[in-house]
Amino acid sequence: MKKAVLVLMLITIISKMSGFLRDVTLSYFYGASMISDAYLISITIPTVIFGIIAAGISTGYIPMYSRIEEQFGEKRGQLFTNNLITVLFVLCTLTIAGALVFTEPIVNVFASGFSGGNLNIAVLLTRITIIGIYFTLVIRILSAYLNYKKLFNVPALIGLPMNAVLILSIIFSYQLDLVIIMGIGYVTALFVQLLLLLYFSFKKGYRYKPAFDLKDTDLKNMLVLAVPVILGSSVTQINKLVDRTLASRIDVGGISALNYAHTVNIAVLGIFVASISTVMYPLISKMAAKGNMDGLKQNVSQSIVGVSLLILPATAGSLFLAEPIISFLYGRGAFEEDAVAMTSDAYFYYSIGLIGFGLRTLLSRTFYSLQDTKTPMINAAIAMVLNIILNFLLARWIGIGGLALATSLSMIFCTLLLFINLRRKIGSFENRYIFLSVIKIAGASAFTGWIAYMAYHQLIAVTGLTLALLLSGVMAAVLYAVLVYFMRINAADDIIKGIKQRLSRR
């Protein structure tokens, strides 16, 4: 089990790296420009229109398929799957038809600041990318099917060929001066993902045969399971919609700057938080099922400190060295000084909320383990309202950075609400230990972040950007590790003990 989780984590990291390379390619050839803004809006629209529903469907599919196969056998399970796909195909056809007729008004909703060339390019690309909805729905269902069949690696790997196709489409579109290639590349990338999933699903015994029954009881029951997830996902997408439509009004390239900055933070969260939440979730789920609240509280407390141990120093580094980091990652090709400044601004303010993003994932999964999906959904809705209000207030004062700051503040507020609600639900769980540990970690992080900042500015005078950033980062990491070691934080001590045990075995 542990080996499977580690392999899956490694694949996830590689997949996220390929996604980051895709954004670096886009920034290199198109920078933060009218074209990059239009392209990003064109691939956001299909996600919001149908991606929300697809997320809910795929989440509800596994428990429903499991029950059907256990009670009636695999043949009945495949019939349910085929009926689900066919019904969603019909729904997609109606959705796509409407989107093709009303493409321009839809783009105006997502990017109200677009006009002229921006609007025309976004409309053109959206009319192509919207076709990808057909593939997205089958991808979500077959990914869930393969996960149920314990073939976890394939759904995790499909991001690699998709990003490879997207990177090639961006390069060819620039070289041939045909923006339309990026839209075609997006749909092609989804089709490649679908082919891979179909191949491995076929090997696991799946066969598609047309079936259409809207009165199917299993279909209705699955929709009941999917509704909370759909509502929760819609909150995130509404936030994204408001962010991007306001960014389109503030400045050309604003949408791209938000996207590039957000990509870096998501990569950090994916690497640092996924490792803890992946291991923690099944463990506390078993404890919750057995009624072992003391063990659950202890593991949640350790996990909160563990996430803080990794996220807070990353936050400090991002805040002190936002501009050098963005310059190192994106500062080449068409990504000029104005784009670096705008993206650095967004990255700085997004980084403030990193701890909120990380702990929200952890706390939400704790509620899920307690079979409570309502509380995270309500908290997310409250955070969404706060985010929208802050967007309008802060965007006037800070511009693009204000949108990122609004997201960070609403995420921190949402996390605090989740923490308070969890305490009410399961009682006090080592609050003093958590508080003291986080204070120690925050102090060590702030100090090492400042050291990294000072070292960078000393080194940049005698070395290039890359070497100065690398050396200052390594220096700060070593110093942070030493400080944490002498602070005697339990979560860090457990990690050190684990490393020592592995070394002694070898």
Work out the average pLDDT over 231-244. 74
Check residues 127 and 283 and name the one with the higher pLDDT: 127
pLDDT band at 472 (very low <50, low <70, confident <90, very high): very high
pLDDT above 80: residue 467: yes
Tell me the C-alpha to C-alpha distance, in Å, between residue 385 and each of 230, 239, 346, 409. 17, 9, 21, 12
Average pLDDT, integer, range 203-221: 81
- Using an 8 Å Cβ cutoff, are 37 and 252 in contact? yes
Half-sphere exposure of 324 (CA within 13 A, CB side): 23
- Select from 124, 266, 128 the least CA-distant residue to 191: 128
**Does 197 or 213 have the greater pLDDT score?**
197
The stretch 492-501 carries a mean pLDDT of 52
What share of the chain in percent tops pLDDT 70? 86
Residue 505 scores a pLDDT above 60:
no
Is the pLDDT at 302 greater than 90, yes or no?
Answer: no
Given a cut of 60, whether residue 5 has pLDDT beyond it is: no
For residue 243, give the 3-state DSSP assignment: helix
d(CA 351, CA 275) in angstroms, rounded, equals: 20
pLDDT confidence bin for 303, thresholds 50/70/90: confident
- What mean pLDDT is predicted for residues 297-310? 83
115-to-34, 35, 64 alpha-carbon distances in Å: 10, 12, 46
Give the model's confidence band at 282: pLDDT under 50 very low, under 70 low, under 90 confident, else very high: low
- Measured distance CA(506)–CA(498) in Å, rounded: 13
Longest dimension (CA), the chain: 72
Kindly tell me if the per-residue pLDDT of 497 is higher than 60. Answer: no
pLDDT band at 496 (very low <50, low <70, confident <90, very high): low
Tell me how far apart the terminal alpha carbons of the chain are, to the nearest angstrom: 21
Cβ atoms 154, 200 nearer than 8 A: yes
Instruction: Give the C-alpha separation, 191 to 169, whole Å.
Output: 14
Residue 149 tokens read as 């069949």
pTM for this entry: 0.76
